[in-house]
């Protein structure tokens, strides 16, 4: 195929891609007769992209990979063989279903190519058109099933996240002084946790834990929770029960047992002087130590009914001062090293939240900054 024909066919197909919802398949074969036969076979049912060898096909995948549902590739081709091409596709676009056309009947080669390329099926050449049509239809079914499952999974995850966020938001807005607090604590916790190179599952859990860390305050009497002024010792003792109350609430949510223990630990202090258990050092779960830093920083940089917000630099100095007593010294040091990022995130919380969030990339809610909270308080 000439470069002109190649680009012309891409243009035609690109228009197809924009205008209808047919599945797109990529056919890769160096033998022009085979390519024409395959095109004729499938063009009524699918949008067709074509390439004459592996290298050419890789550039098609690079450009249109997210639109391609299935690839039918010949094995023996100049420049790059089918299996080498499909191995690369497996790395970049694992969701694409792959069918290999091969003249090899050696079972070892067939099995290793199935494993290396994550092949859906191989079809021996010379192939029977009807047999290939059935293989492609089954491949498209599999593609639809896995993408639909992914869509449902993502929808459920978003729904779960939205539920958690609206609960924590309901709590924060009970009091003008804490409006946006849980989301900002989540944001600072995510920034610190990302720096620790924790795996994605842990980061997602931190995001949920940040949103829920103060959920136990729902069980606090309103006259204490929203008191205008400092709490008495007696009132403070009541307030100190919120981490344990929060643990109980979160334990009721399926699969959040670990997170419930983090919620319980967010007021523990590194030297053992915190509450509710007086845990010390690494007895405190890592996520509890992370959230404690984020929580204290947000509390310091927000106005309270009994004091004005501290400046960012003053809050950072305070964190430095309390490293090793209130805070895990290594985490505190890391938090201080992230001070300028934290300060930017404090000023532009929505922008930073969508950058760091794993559960909500397209932020669709207003995240009030500490400064805005301070203005309305
Ligand atoms: Fe708290």
Report CA(85)–ligand 1 centroid distance (Å). 54
Q: Same domain, yes or no, for 109 and 61?
A: yes
Q: 334 near 289, Cβ under 8 Å? A: no
Helices 54-64 and 3-19, axial angle in degrees (round to 10): 30
- β-pairing, 68-74 vs 47-51, is unpaired
Q: Same domain, yes or no, for 367 and 219?
A: yes
Q: 26 near 51, Cβ under 8 Å? A: yes
In a domain, 158, yes or no: no
Q: Which of 235, 224, 225, 287 is nearest to 256 (CA)?
A: 287
Neighbours of ion ligand 1 (CB under 5 A): 214
For every residue of 58-124, DSSP letters joined together read: HHHHHHHGGGEEEEEEESS-SSS-HHHHHHHHHHH-TTSEEEEEE----HHHHHHHHHHHT-SEEEE
Alpha carbon distance 268, 289 (integer Å): 8
Report CA(86)–ligand 1 centroid distance (Å). 52
Structural domain boundaries enclosing 76: 3-149
* Domain of residue 198, CATH code: 1.10.3210.10
In a domain, 302, yes or no: yes
Q: Same domain, yes or no, for 211 and 141?
A: no
Model confidence, pTM:
0.66
Burial 54-68 (b: 16+ CB within 10 A, else e): bebbbebbeebbebb
Report CA(240)–ligand 1 centroid distance (Å). 8
Q: Same domain, yes or no, for 363 and 278?
A: yes
Q: 307 near 231, Cβ under 8 Å? A: no
Q: Same domain, yes or no, for 145 and 184?
A: no
Report CA(213)–ligand 1 centroid distance (Å). 6
Report CA(254)–ligand 1 centroid distance (Å). 22
Q: Same domain, yes or no, for 206 and 143?
A: no
The catalytic residues are: 217
Q: 226 near 243, Cβ under 8 Å? A: no
For each of the chain's 377 residues, which pLDDT tens digit applies?
444 444 444 444 444 444 446 899 999 999 999 899 999 999 889 999 999 999 999 999 999 998 999 999 998 888 898 999 999 999 999 999 999 998 866 777 777 777 888 889 888 888 888 999 999 999 999 999 888 887 887 778 788 888 888 888 888 887 767 788 999 999 999 999 999 999 888 999 999 999 999 999 988 998 888 888 889 999 999 999 999 999 999 988 877 889 999 999 999 999 999 999 999 999 999 999 999 999 999 999 998 877 889 999 999 999 999 999 999 999 999 999 999 999 999 999 989 999 999 987 666 666 777 777 665 54
Alpha carbon distance 136, 56 (integer Å): 22
Alpha carbon distance 24, 28 (integer Å): 13
Q: Which two tokens stand for residue 175?
A: 């009091």
Report CA(38)–ligand 1 centroid distance (Å). 64
Q: Which of 211, 212, 242, 208 is nearest to 224 (CA)?
A: 242
Cis preceding linkage at 276, omega within 30: yes
Q: Same domain, yes or no, for 140 and 188?
A: no
Alpha carbon distance 244, 263 (integer Å): 8
Q: Same domain, yes or no, for 326 and 190?
A: yes
Q: Position of tokens 């989540």?
A: 186
Report CA(267)–ligand 1 centroid distance (Å). 6
**Count of the separate structural domains present in the chain:** 2
Q: Same domain, yes or no, for 138 and 197?
A: no
In a domain, 45, yes or no: yes
Q: Which residues contact 225 (CB under 8 A, 6 or more apart)?
A: 174, 175, 217, 239
In a domain, 168, yes or no: no
């Amino acid at each position: 195929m000439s470069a002109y024909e190649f680009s012309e066919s891409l243009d035609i197909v690109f228009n197809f891609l924009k205008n209808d919802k047919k599945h797109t398949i990529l056919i890769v074969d160096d033998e022009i007769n085979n390519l024409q036969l395959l095109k004729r076979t499938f063009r009524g049912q699918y949008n067709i992209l074509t390439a004459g060898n592996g290298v050419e096909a890789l550039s098609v995948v690079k450009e249109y990979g997210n639109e391609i549902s299935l690839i039918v590739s010949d094995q023996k081709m100049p420049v790059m063989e089918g299996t080498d091409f499909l191995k690369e596709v497996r790395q970049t676009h694992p969701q694409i279903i792959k069918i290999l056309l091969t003249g090899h009947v050696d079972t070892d080669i067939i099995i290793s190519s199935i494993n290396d390329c994550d092949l859906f099926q191989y079809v021996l050449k010379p192939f029977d058109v009807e047999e290939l049509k059935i293989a492609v239809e089954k491949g498209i079914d599999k593609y639809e099933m896995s993408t639909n499952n992914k869509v449902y999974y993502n929808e459920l995850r978003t729904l779960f996240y939205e539920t958690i966020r609206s609960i924590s938001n309901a709590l924060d807005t009970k009091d003008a002084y804490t409006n946006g607090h849980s989301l900002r604590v989540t944001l600072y916790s995510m920034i610190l946790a990302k720096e620790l190179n924790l795996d994605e599952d842990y980061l997602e859990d931190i995001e949920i834990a940040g949103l829920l860390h103060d959920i136990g305050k729902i069980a606090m009497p309103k006259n204490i929770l929203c008191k205008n002024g400092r709490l008495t010792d007696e009132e403070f003792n009541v307030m100190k029960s919120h981490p344990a109350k929060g643990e109980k609430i979160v334990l009721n949510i399926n699969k959040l047992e670990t997170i419930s223990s983090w919620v319980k630990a967010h007021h523990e202090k590194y030297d053992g002087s915190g509450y509710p258990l007086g845990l010390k050092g690494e007895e405190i779960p890592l996520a509890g130590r992370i959230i404690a830093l984020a929580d204290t920083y947000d509390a310091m940089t927000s106005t309270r009914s009994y004091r004005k917000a501290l400046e960012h630099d003053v809050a950072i100095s305070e964190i430095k001062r309390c490293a090793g007593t209130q805070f895990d010294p290594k985490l505190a040091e890391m938090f201080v090293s992230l001070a300028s990022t934290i300060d930017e995130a404090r000023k532009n919380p929505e922008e930073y939240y969508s950058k760091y969030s794993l559960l909500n990339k397209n932020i669709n809610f207003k995240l009030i900054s500490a400064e805005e909270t301070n203005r309305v308080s």
